[in-house]
């Protein structure tokens, strides 16, 4: 017995926005596809924990998919695939389009660095017969979250003779791990009076690396000496080699499904590998020449403000596009000003346990699909690129045509805080750009959470953009 709809119901259907749960807009077959995509992402996240590791993975996968090293004086035809590796820490992949680069590239830009704890240049010391490493945290971490989390050590050491040693300890089964300590509650009365932001101070993020002394009748700092001897035996390094090293301590935890329904993924470094991976898969799967040249940027240093030659404030993206323009006899600016970009970065997912810094109507929600963020910034839209209505319209039409489940949000309530992405640096190149990405719970924590459906929708969205 079907009842006729009331006037109110009809008007509601016609006029009100209906943002659906991603699970309600896909069928069983696509749900299976999304879950399958998540498995690939989980493996990637487990295996690649630093920008150098992600960059190496991207190059390896790109080569397997027919990408060749970009020759800036070369000539290319539609469908050709090229890669450019910037100092082992940032990557650009491109598939040459059917149209001239003068009609603009379709660019997606994610970052592959994540918040972590770096070693200082002079890290190793001994105190109370414990060997420790001094650190300097990287990016916006909540310092109190990092003690008592098992850590692994990743990075590179350049020895005096110029040879390099790659370090990766604590990820494989049976390998030792490392730890930052915290006080026991019994003796934390004074520490507990500190404000949360000072709960653990920067100079308290010291990593324990050993406690056995070198066997000798006499001598000082024998625990430190013992550690150095072990490092020398294994890697051929001496203390001074730490001066020419980049060593990152990251959570040694493994990626896992979260929830009885396995709908979520817990892991370290979702920000922003959860956008980098869908973007990578989208460009690797471009089997025929797209209309516009597709460019996938995997940037470093976003978490510290995109400074430095591997961050997007550097000119390498601009130069890359200019080099593509040159073989057509065009100026770089001809291509840049016509180009369009998805700045693929995460946004904060509404957290029901901590609702106060969110404004519910303009928050991102897990499982509501890829989030489009018109602007980020703080303090009255400061420090951001505010995407134009025209460009947001163009991008969301592409998403709608491809059945992408998407939502729009700000980054938290007005004046609750704020943040930024690479979007403003891309916009500075005279490129139309808007932020899109996966909503994340506990962003920047040692263990972050995302939804599998949102990861899948991000891949679908970037694919559709590359093909548009």
Which residues contact Mn ion (rule: CB under 5 A)?
A: 271-272, 345
Closest approach of Mn ion to the CB of residue 302, in Å: 6
Q: How far is the CB of 136 from Mn ion (least distance, A)?
A: 17
Report in angstroms how near the CB of residue 111 gets to Mn ion at its nearest.
6
Specify the residue, 126 or 272, whose C-beta has the smaller distance to Mn ion. Answer: 272
Residue 52 φ/ψ, nearest 5 degrees: -65, -40
Q: Whose Cβ is closer to Mn ion: residue 286's or residue 422's?
A: 422
Measured from the CB atom, the residue of 126 and 271 that comes closer to Mn ion is 271
85 strand-pairing partners? 91
Choice between 41 and 70, CB closer to Mn ion: 41
Identify the CA nearest to 350 among candidates 334, 361, 339, 336.
361
Residue of 153, 84, 161, 87 whose CA lies nearest to 124: 153
Q: Smallest gap, in angstroms, from Cβ of residue 349 to Mn ion?
A: 13
Cis peptide, bond prior to residue 272, ω within 30 of zero: yes
Smallest distance from Mn ion to CB 273, Å: 9
Q: Which is nearer to Mn ion, 144 or 214 (CB)?
A: 144
Handedness of CA 374, 375, 380, 382 (dihedral sign): negative
Tell me how far, at minimum, the Cβ of 248 lies from Mn ion, in Å: 15
Number of residue whose CB is nearest Mn ion: 272
The C-alpha atoms of residue 89 and residue 55 are separated, in whole angstroms, by 6
322/331 Cα distance (integer angstroms): 6
Q: Which is nearer to Mn ion, 462 or 468 (CB)?
A: 462
Contact at 8 Å (CB) between 365 and 439?
A: yes
DSSP secondary structure string, 94-157? EE--SS-GGG--EEEEEE----EEEEEEEEEEEETTEEEEEEEEESS--GGGSTTS-EEEEEEE
Given the complex with Mn ion, which of 80 and 454 has the nearer CB atom? Answer: 454
CB of 303 to Mn ion, least distance (A): 5
């Amino acid at each position: 017995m079907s009842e006729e709809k009331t006037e109110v119901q009809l008007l509601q259907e016609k006029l009100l926005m209906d943002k659906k749960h991603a699970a309600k807009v896909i069928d069983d077959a696509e749900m299976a596809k999304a879950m399958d995509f998540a498995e690939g992402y989980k493996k990637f996240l487990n295996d690649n924990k630093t920008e150098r590791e992600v960059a190496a993975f991207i190059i390896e996968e790109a080569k397997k998919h027919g990408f060749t090293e970009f020759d800036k004086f070369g000539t290319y035809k539609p469908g050709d695939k090229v890669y450019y590796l910037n100092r082992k820490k940032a990557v650009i992949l491109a598939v040459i389009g059917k149209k001239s680069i003068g009609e603009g590239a379709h660019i997606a830009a994610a970052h592959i660095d994540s918040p972590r704890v770096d070693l200082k240049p002079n890290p190793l010391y001994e105190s109370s017969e414990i060997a420790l490493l001094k650190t300097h945290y990287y990016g916006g971490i909540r310092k109190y979250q990092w003690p008592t989390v098992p850590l692994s050590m990743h990075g590179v050491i350049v020895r005096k003779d110029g040879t390099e040693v790659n370090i990766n300890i604590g990820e494989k089964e049976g390998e030792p791990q490392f730890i930052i300590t915290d006080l026991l509650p019994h003796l934390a009365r004074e520490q507990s009076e500190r404000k949360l932001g000072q709960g653990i101070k920067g100079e308290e993020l010291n990593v324990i690396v050993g406690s056995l002394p070198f066997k000798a009748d006499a001598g000082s700092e024998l625990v430190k000496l013992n550690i150095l001897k072990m490092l020398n035996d294994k890697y051929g390094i001496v203390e001074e080699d730490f001066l020419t090293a980049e060593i990152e301590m990251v959570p040694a935890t493994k990626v896992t499904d979260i929830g009885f329904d396995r709908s979520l993924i817990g892991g370290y470094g979702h920000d922003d590998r959860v956008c980098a991976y869908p973007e990578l898969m989208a460009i690797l799967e471009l089997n025929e020449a797209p209309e516009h040249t597709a460019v996938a940027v995997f940037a470093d240093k976003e978490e510290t403000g995109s400074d430095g030659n591997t961050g997007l404030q550097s000119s390498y993206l601009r130069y890359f596009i200019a080099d593509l323009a040159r073989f057509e006899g065009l100026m770089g600016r001809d291509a840049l000003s016509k180009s369009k970009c998805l700045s693929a970065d995460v946004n904060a997912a509404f957290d029901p346990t901590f609702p106060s810094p969110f404004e519910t109507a303009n928050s991102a929600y897990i499982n509501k699909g890829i989030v489009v963020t018109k602007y980020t910034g703080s303090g009255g839209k400061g420090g951001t690129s505010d995407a134009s209505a025209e460009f947001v319209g163009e991008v969301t039409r592409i998403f709608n045509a491809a059945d992408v489940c998407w939502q729009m949000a700000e980054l938290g309530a007005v004046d609750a805080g704020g943040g930024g992405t690479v979007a403003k640096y891309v916009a500075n190149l005279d490129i139309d750009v808007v932020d899109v990405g996966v909503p994340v719970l506990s962003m920047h924590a040692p263990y972050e959470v995302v939804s599998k459906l949102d990861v899948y929708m991000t891949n679908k969205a970037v694919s559709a953009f590359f093909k548009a």
